[in-house]
Structure 1
């Protein structure tokens, strides 16, 4: 009985934070679609968090069915005129509609309005991340450590470049930096890429070229990441550490910067995969997300909110990929329609959706397989 209780408790420790994070991200994504659709005069048939059998729900005064379904791996908003949850057009249903009903159908709206409705989902994800980051910055503030070098590891990239203890790194690639965190971020995404550093050494400004070495690091939970490292440690002197508090405007500004960093880092990683610089073994699926959610939850609610913001950005970017069935695929179809002056043929759209389903299924299987390999290596 103790073993069963331990296993159940461990599963709940992962499952509950995972459901919280995913539900919040999915809800706001679909809420973006929903609000803009209502604003554009589209009749919304269903708003669902999750797929599969309905667990519970209710109808609002405009006839939309709000529901929670059994499989919590996504969600959807279904519009009048849609054949399925992927918003494939139902030509037969459209033909049977009265003029009044057709006026509320998604497919009868202008290409600009349809594009706005589709783009609203990923945009809502980015807005959610900015709101969360701004909340965390305004409430908790942030400890900022000067980018001063304390120690240099032997045979490291920093030692090979001639960086010395006491050096203050003031710029990277001509861009000024003020914190050790900014230095870490720039270095971590620049493995095997030369960086130009401006260093203040006892009041004298010198330029140094250093190439971060790709290394595996293990966090406190045993997760392994491959990042660029210089091989230096930060200063722990009190004069190099400042607790910074943010007003509302400053918090939003920092939140936008934080969101853009995650977008740029994710885009750089994907580009690195195609360029052969990054490994696909870092890609994770729902199992990895559940595991990380449970781990981060042990650090507190603020850490879980931070993870929610990062995952929201990832979901927004994923949905913007030009793959039919995803939001980016729909936007690709609408771009073609805007150029041609008419929609793609039903046959072309059908083939596109089939291809999209195949790609999405492949990505899900691949990510899940990576998750299994990751768990087996722990």
Structure 2
């Protein structure tokens, strides 16, 4: 159950931050965002606020922000249709009832002659109460269509994604992966604030209860001046001497509370990769500083970004087999292992996964954010957008191939972890 909860929390955070990036930059550009969804498939929970419906869906395989103009979404109001109209105090149409008009007895029934709910925002028609006169009705920019009792807000052309500048559209798509890097950075900074940032000072960090250091009388915070008469200038010097002297007595000259003190310590023997080394049960010293934490967060984000790019390079060059890739099943199993090591390891794992998600989405693969960004680059170079139907077909094929890859990876995970 702990693993399930950890997996759901991590997955939810990764998807939320990713989609929030798309959402916030689309909203800033003035795009009508109809839905902000975590998960896919049937709705489990929904809540509407202002123009957006926030949903949680059944299948934990992603999320999306449904932006106006991205999908065929509006019913075309053709000449001859009979619709009901409701107005506000300014005599602008706020609701266009397409069917079941009897449920709106106060609506004005009109036979449509012409309607444009995207650019002109007008509807021309013959009202039942004045059938001989062609009337022109002004439509409110936030009017809704009502079909089968369900309201759908209209999307004037200036509220649609495609009407925005190339820069605005680029940022709305790029912001998703960008926020995954931001999340990873935040997680690494929080870890550094809570755990501290390792330093190279010759100062003892936390001691293990059963270590030789504690048994000899050393304490956390002791500053090591010398070992066996050798002057110590860094923590690296301390580690090197201890590792080279298993089961040998070492004379530590330390400073505690401003006073020097001699303490004899015998490192225990430990075998690592077939080599005998000495250990005394002391963690490296750490510094809890906001400035150091921010620097550490940036350093860890950069390190894991380069590591993941390196693995991608090996995949492209054939040094890394596709069978080694993991999907949701593999991530779940890995999360189970990491969860056993504690909350800090789990937070670090979430940060690594977030960077991985950000990088994967930036790859120029159709149906992914990187694929869409690639089309924006082509648009910038040629000075005009690519035909939307052709672009849509490319993304559809890309999505189908991604789903096929997901099935293959998931099956490999099942064989690797449950059928071996």
Q: TM-score range by the shorter chain?
A: 0.5 to 0.7
- Tell me which protein shows more strand as a share of its residues: 2
Question: Cα distance 1:242–1:235, how it changes in 2: closer, same or farther (>3 A)?
Answer: farther
CA RMSD of aligned residues (A): 3.0
Structure 2 length as normaliser, TM-score?
Answer: 0.61
- Contact preservation (8 Å) 1:118, 1:330: yes
2:68 matched to 1:80?
yes
Alignment of 1:213-362 (within 5 A): 236-237=278-279, 242-362=284-404
Aligned length: 282
Question: Cα distance 1:39–1:234, how it changes in 2: closer, same or farther (>3 A)?
Answer: farther
- Contact preservation (8 Å) 1:115, 1:331: yes
What is the alpha-carbon distance in structure 2 between the residues aligned to residue 145 and residue 58 of structure 1? 51
Alignment of 1:78-117 (within 5 A): 78-83=66-71, 96-98=117-119, 100=141, 101-117=156-172
- Contact preservation (8 Å) 1:144, 1:179: no
2:36 matched to 1:36?
no
Question: Cα distance 1:115–1:294, how it changes in 2: closer, same or farther (>3 A)?
Answer: same
1:238: Cα distance to partner? 5.5
Once the two structures are superposed, what CA deviation does each residue of 1:180-217 show, in whole Å capped at 9, x if it has no partner?
9xxxxxxxxxxxxxxxxxxxx9xxxxxxxxxxxxxxxx
Counterpart position of 2:49: 60
What is the alpha-carbon distance in structure 2 between the residues aligned to residue 234 and residue 140 of structure 1? 29
Larger Rg belongs to: 2
- Contact preservation (8 Å) 2:197, 2:293: no
Counterpart position of 2:94: none
- Contact preservation (8 Å) 2:18, 2:179: yes
Counterpart position of 1:150: none
SS at match of 1:373: helix
1:286: Cα distance to partner? 0.3
1:340: Cα distance to partner? 1.0
1:44: Cα distance to partner? 0.8
In structure 2, the gaps of 5 or more residues are 78-115, 121-140, 142-155, 202-234, 238-243, 245-271
- Contact preservation (8 Å) 2:43, 2:56: yes
What is the alpha-carbon distance in structure 1 between the residues aligned to residue 2 and residue 350 of structure 2? 16
1:64: Cα distance to partner? 0.3
Question: Cα distance 1:258–1:98, how it changes in 2: closer, same or farther (>3 A)?
Answer: same
1:244: Cα distance to partner? 1.5
Counterpart position of 2:205: none
Counterpart position of 1:137: 192
SS at match of 1:242: coil
Counterpart position of 2:225: none
**Deviating runs (4+, > 4 A) in structure 1?**
89-93, 142-146, 230-241
In structure 1, the gaps of 5 or more residues are 1-11, 147-177, 181-200, 202-229
Once the two structures are superposed, what CA deviation does each residue of 1:305-342 show, in whole Å capped at 9, x if it has no partner?
11111111111111111112110011011111111111
Alignment of 1:166-205 (within 5 A): none
SS at match of 2:386: coil
SS at match of 1:32: helix
1:236: Cα distance to partner? 4.8
Structure 1 length as normaliser, TM-score?
Answer: 0.68
Once the two structures are superposed, what CA deviation does each residue of 1:152-207 show, in whole Å capped at 9, x if it has no partner?
xxxxxxxxxxxxxxxxxxxxxxxxxx979xxxxxxxxxxxxxxxxxxxx9xxxxxx
